[in-house]
Amino acid sequence: MSTSDLIEIANADAELASQGVSSSKVPHVPPPKSATPLRVYWLYVIPLIVLHALALLAFLPWFFSWSGLILAILGHFTFGMLGITIGYHRLLTHRGFNCPKWLEHTFAILGLCNLQDSPARWVAIHRMHHQHSDQQPDPHTPLVNLLWGHVGWVLHRNRDHDSVTSFERYVRDLLKDPFYLKLEKRGLWVKIFWLHAACFALAGGLVGFLYGGLAASIQLASSWLVWGVFVRTVFVLHGTWSVNSLGHMFGYKNYKTRDDSRNNWLVALISHGEGWHNNHHAQPRAAHHGHRWFEFDMSWWVILLMEKVGLATDVVRAKPVPRQ
């Protein structure tokens, strides 16, 4: 099966159904065969434990600053929305629009700053998810259990996406670009994450030194690192993971699909529109995930703005939902 075939599978339309229709009870499924016997993926587990532990420093008053909080909020939009939602997902995975290569690579770099994997591996796993959604080969269906769908699948090895050779057939279109191929070598994408964290600390230290000397420099560097990087990264991670878990268990449906995807307003709020997940599974290639007037999708408005100024072309619109 060619990469183009896999993209078409991931972008296959589903059958329209009534607003609020519920699917029949979906049975429990075991973990993917490629993930059994279950083995802890320490290469991921250790950094995630360290990241969450460092984010807990935010509960200590010494690490708080208003500028750090502002950086966390701005980072949620800049790195989370532009990097993951628009870059990794709607652009690289589904090709819901096209943009200049320099901008595409910029989105990819922003995505790396969320510690969510390299662009190629992230895209490959998501295309696997659409190909086998809520079936046993699905890498992260919550029908195994809610914890598995949220984060358990990240913490265990899976032979289907352990290495480039195991997942490259899903992303040959990306790996033709030397930029993405280079990111797979020697953990370069992880190094970029820690480099961007160091930049936050250095910038905070410089600003603090200019306004208050050495003590202020150390405090602001620590604050910007904890809030601008660790807290923001943890929030973005759980926002993305909630799409995989809560987005297949709780919410309503606009469409009848072959999986149990749901529209969930809370997940949509914390993930810039990704929570309109049933809409997305019904029309995966559409860059617009909010299909009804009340389904606000901020990422879609950003893509529209890009189109208006000439930075986005071939934008795929959602098909209108029929009036009931």
Give pLDDT tens digits for 199-246.
999 999 999 999 999 999 999 999 999 999 999 999 999 999 999 999
Average pLDDT score over residue span 297-301: 98
CA 89 to CA 194: how far, in whole Å? 22
Give, to the nearest 10 degrees, the angle between helix 119-131 and helix 3-10. 60
CA 67 to CA 60: how far, in whole Å? 16
Half-sphere exposure of 127 (CA within 13 A, CB side): 30
Cα→Cα distances 66→90, 229, 270, Å: 32, 14, 21
CA 166 to CA 162: how far, in whole Å? 7
Per-residue pLDDT reduced to its tens digit, 27-68: 789 999 999 999 999 989 999 999 999 999 999 999 999 999
Q: What pLDDT score does 11 carry?
A: 56
Residues 6 or more apart from 186 whose CB is under 8 A from it?
none
Average pLDDT score over residue span 159-176: 94
Residues 6 or more apart from 222 whose CB is under 8 A from it?
57, 62, 63, 201, 204
Residue 175 has pLDDT above 70, yes or no: yes
Q: Is the pLDDT higher at 186 or at 221? A: 221
Other beta carbons less than 10 A from residue 269's beta carbon: 13
Place of tokens 């659409």: 130
CA 133 to CA 155: how far, in whole Å? 20
Per-residue pLDDT reduced to its tens digit, 280-289: 999 999 999 9
Preceding peptide of 320 cis, ω within 30°:
no
CA 251 to CA 298: how far, in whole Å? 19
Q: What pLDDT score does 15 carry?
A: 42
- Nearest 5°: phi and psi at 212? -155, 5
Q: What is the DSSP string of 133-186?
A: TTSTT-TT-TTS-HHIIIIITTTB--TTSSSHHHHGGG-HHHHTSHHHHHHTST
For residue 249, the SS3 value is: coil
Amino acid 98 reads N
CA 145 to CA 149: how far, in whole Å? 6
Looking at residue 58, the DSSP 8-state letter turns out to be: G
Place of tokens 């075939």: 5
Q: Provide the pLDDT confidence category of residue 12 given band limits of 50, 70 and 90.
A: low
Residue 5 has pLDDT above 70, yes or no: no
CA 273 to CA 262: how far, in whole Å? 13
Per-residue pLDDT reduced to its tens digit, 116-151: 999 999 999 999 999 999 999 999 999 999 999 999
Q: What pLDDT score does 16 carry?
A: 41
Q: What pLDDT score does 4 carry?
A: 53
CB 72 within 8 A of CB 244: no
Q: Provide the pLDDT confidence category of residue 26 given band limits of 50, 70 and 90.
A: low
Which residue in 215, 303, 284, 227 sits closest to 59, CA to CA?
227
For the chain, the 3-state helix, strand and coil shares in percent, each to the nearest 5, are 60, 5, 35
- Nearest 5°: phi and psi at 60? -90, 120
Q: What pLDDT score does 17 carry?
A: 40
CA 122 to CA 237: how far, in whole Å? 13
Residues 6 or more apart from 52 whose CB is under 8 A from it?
234
Q: Is the pLDDT higher at 305 or at 185? A: 305
Q: For the chain, what is the mean pLDDT?
A: 92
Lowest mean pLDDT among 74-88, 156-170, 273-287, 309-323: 309-323
Q: Provide the pLDDT confidence category of residue 6 given band limits of 50, 70 and 90.
A: low
Q: Which two tokens stand for residue 232?
A: 């923001």
128-248-140-273 Cα dihedral, nearest 10 degrees: 70
